[in-house]
């Protein structure tokens, strides 16, 4: 007869007997047009008030909270409506606890006749709410500019596609003879076409000397039809491409100014910039030396990690910041990035396993970096390819992104450079364990392993 588990008796703790941790707490329910605020009942004759979302109303809200001797505020992250109020409250010296809506829904016990602001104020008083991560002001500037730069690049990419489509409509096979229509040769030929040049041989003479194809081949590709409507579309596509390119250059100058506000973390005379792992600059990189700027800002060269380029490092820093103290351990950091596995358990039964869905931009950047390890001749590349062969591409990308996150966390927290020899030693230890396991299996079957002749093995290229 199966033994039954011993019944555990526990006493129910009334909600009113819980310890109040934040006595000077307020709750704010934010909307597009109005804001509801709740403070402790003994602080004001009207503890629940409604404010409109104009700037002077937000300032009045802040003054009222200070008059009620409130020092911490809890509010839900609703869209982007919370940002202006968050900045005002932060400037006034109040501690703002930004709540994730998913975390708030997981707290049971809410009554139907309680307003959202009252519920937030009560939960925050008992310390039952966890604040979301928000970096400091300087990092927020970089994050805003970095996100805008990504948006501008996406807008410009659409007009590059318009250029390519219009050239195909005109039967100008420029995309077949140049690397890109936005290269020096491609843009020079397009501008000459819009100025009225139609002779293919004259257009072909505009090629850059470094172009792979000859003038004769390019001239053959430039025999096309020049309808007025297609020329008009080509003109507009080029205009928008140049406009967004100019805006990106202006944003890069502003981004460089923001980076220069940070105090350098290293002295280049004492600790010079390590040699670049990639000799060529990354595509769509800003005009200034972003790799050197990130090295001075962080104190470590994140681009030394395989798969991490300068733009990926910029995205990571703009989303995560420079201070790793909000995450006590690397496990907390991986969980925040939604790269750590979790289990949904109910009544002792595992309902679902995997990683939580996330729209975190740092998560996306690390996943793209992990995907680029497929052809990397490094321990990280070997690690990704082994996981890909055993688990499939999706799980391998998640695991490799998790490993990259752990590496970057330790580099930023302890200001230690990336040492690939450590990963190489781990790879050797893994091979040693595999060899020992194979030898034991062979002995169990009555066989003995012997090393193969290295001269007969295929040599790496």
Q: What is the pLDDT of residues 204-219, one digit of tens each?
A: 999 988 888 898 999 9
Question: What is the mean predicted confidence (pLDDT) over 282-296?
Answer: 91
Which pLDDT does position 19 carry in this prediction?
82
Question: How far apart are the C-alpha atoms of 211 and 331, rounded to whole Å?
Answer: 50
Locate the DSSP E strands across 136-215: none
Q: What is the pLDDT of residues 335-352, one digit of tens each?
A: 999 998 877 777 677 777
Instruction: Flag the least confident range among 178-192, 298-312, 409-423.
Output: 409-423
Is 406 exposed, middle or buried, given 0-12, 13-18 or 19+ CB atoms closer than 10 A? middle
CB of 206 closer than 8 Å to CB of 189: yes
More confident of the two residues 283 and 373:
373
pLDDT above 90 covers a percentage of the chain that reads: 64
Which pLDDT does position 338 carry in this prediction?
93
pLDDT band for 17, please (50, 70, 90 cuts).
low
More confident of the two residues 364 and 458:
364
Question: How far apart are the C-alpha atoms of 13 and 31, rounded to whole Å?
Answer: 34
Question: What is the mean predicted confidence (pLDDT) over 1-15?
Answer: 50
Cβ atoms within 10 Å of 333's Cβ, excluding its own: 22
Q: What is the pLDDT of residues 234-272, one digit of tens each?
A: 999 999 999 999 999 999 999 999 999 999 999 998 999
Question: How far apart are the C-alpha atoms of 428 and 421, rounded to whole Å?
Answer: 10
**Residue listed under structure tokens 């003054």:** 63
3-state SS record for 268-331: CCCCCCCCCCCCCCCCCCCCCCHHHHHHHHHCCCHHHCCCCCHHHHHHHHHHHCCCCCCCCCHH
CB of 98 closer than 8 Å to CB of 10: no
- Chain-wide mean pLDDT for the chain? 88
pLDDT above 70 covers a percentage of the chain that reads: 92
Distances (CA, A) of 296 to 270, 300, 319, 417, 454: 12, 8, 18, 13, 46
Relative orientation angle of helices 310-320 and 361-371, to the nearest 10 degrees: 150
Handedness of CA 17, 18, 19, 23 (dihedral sign): negative
Which pLDDT does position 11 carry in this prediction?
54
Which pLDDT does position 335 carry in this prediction?
92
- Strand ranges of the sheet holding 34-38, from the earlier edge strand across to the other edge: 48-52, 34-38, 25-30, 72-76, 95-99
pLDDT band for 61, please (50, 70, 90 cuts).
very high
Query: Nearest to residue 15, comparing CAs of 131, 130, 127?
Result: 127
Question: How far apart are the C-alpha atoms of 125 and 19, rounded to whole Å?
Answer: 9
Question: What is the mean predicted confidence (pLDDT) over 120-141?
Answer: 90
Contacts 24+ apart (CB under 8 A), 350-355: 355/398
pLDDT band for 155, please (50, 70, 90 cuts).
very high
Question: How far apart are the C-alpha atoms of 434 and 428, rounded to whole Å?
Answer: 10
Residue 60: pLDDT above 70? yes
Q: What is the pLDDT of residues 65-98, one digit of tens each?
A: 999 999 999 998 878 899 999 999 999 999 999 9
For the entire predicted model, the pTM comes to 0.83
DSSP state letter for 21 = S
Is 19 exposed, middle or buried, given 0-12, 13-18 or 19+ CB atoms closer than 10 A? exposed
């Amino acid at each position: 007869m199966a033994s039954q588990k011993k019944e555990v008796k526990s006493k129910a703790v009334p909600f009113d007997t819980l310890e109040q941790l934040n006595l000077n707490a307020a709750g704010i329910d934010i909307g597009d047009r109005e804001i509801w605020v709740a403070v402790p009942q003994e602080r004001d004759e009207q503890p629940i008030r409604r404010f409109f979302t104009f700037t002077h109303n937000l300032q009045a809200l802040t003054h009222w909270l200070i008059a009620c001797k409130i020092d911490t505020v809890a509010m839900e992250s609703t869209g982007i409506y919370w940002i202006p109020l968050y900045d005002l409250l932060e400037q006034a010296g109040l501690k703002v606890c930004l709540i994730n809506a998913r975390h708030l829904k997981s707290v049971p016990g809410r009554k139907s006749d309680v307003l959202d602001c009252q519920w937030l104020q009560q939960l925050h008083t008992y310390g039952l709410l966890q604040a979301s991560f928000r970096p400091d002001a300087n990092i927020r500037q970089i994050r805003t500019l970095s996100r805008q730069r990504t948006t501008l690049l996406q807008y410009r990419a659409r007009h590059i596609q318009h250029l390519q489509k219009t050239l195909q409509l005109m039967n100008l096979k420029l995309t077949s003879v140049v690397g890109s229509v936005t290269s020096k040769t491609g843009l020079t030929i397009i501008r000459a076409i819009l100025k009225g040049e139609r002779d293919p041989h004259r257009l072909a003479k505009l090629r850059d000397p470094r172009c792979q194809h000859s003038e004769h081949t390019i001239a053959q590709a430039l025999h096309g039809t020049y309808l007025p409507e297609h020329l008009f579309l080509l003109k507009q596509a080029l205009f928008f491409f140049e406009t967004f390119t100019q805006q990106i250059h202006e944003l890069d100058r502003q981004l460089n100014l923001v980076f220069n506000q940070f105090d350098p973390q290293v002295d280049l005379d004492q600790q010079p910039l390590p040699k670049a792992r990639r000799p060529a600059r990354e595509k769509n990189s800003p005009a200034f030396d972003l790799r050197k700027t990130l090295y001075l800002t962080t104190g470590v060269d994140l681009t030394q990690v395989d798969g991490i380029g300068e733009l990926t490092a910029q995205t990571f820093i703009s989303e995560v910041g420079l201070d790793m103290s909000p995450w006590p351990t690397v496990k907390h950091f991986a969980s925040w990035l939604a790269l750590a596995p979790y289990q949904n358990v109910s009544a002792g039964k595992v309902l679902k396993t995997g990683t939580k869905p996330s729209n975190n931009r740092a998560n996306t950047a690390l996943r793209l970096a992990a995907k680029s390890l497929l052809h990397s001749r490094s321990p990280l590349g070997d690690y990704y390819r082994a996981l890909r062969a055993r688990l499939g591409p999706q799980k391998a990308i998640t695991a490799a992104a998790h490993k990259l996150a752990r590496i970057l966390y330790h580099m930023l927290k302890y200001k230690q450079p990336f040492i690939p020899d450590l990963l190489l030693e781990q790879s050797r230890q893994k091979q040693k364990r595999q060899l020992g396991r194979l030898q034991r299996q062979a002995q169990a079957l009555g066989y003995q392993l012997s090393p193969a002749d290295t001269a007969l093995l295929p040599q790496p290229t």
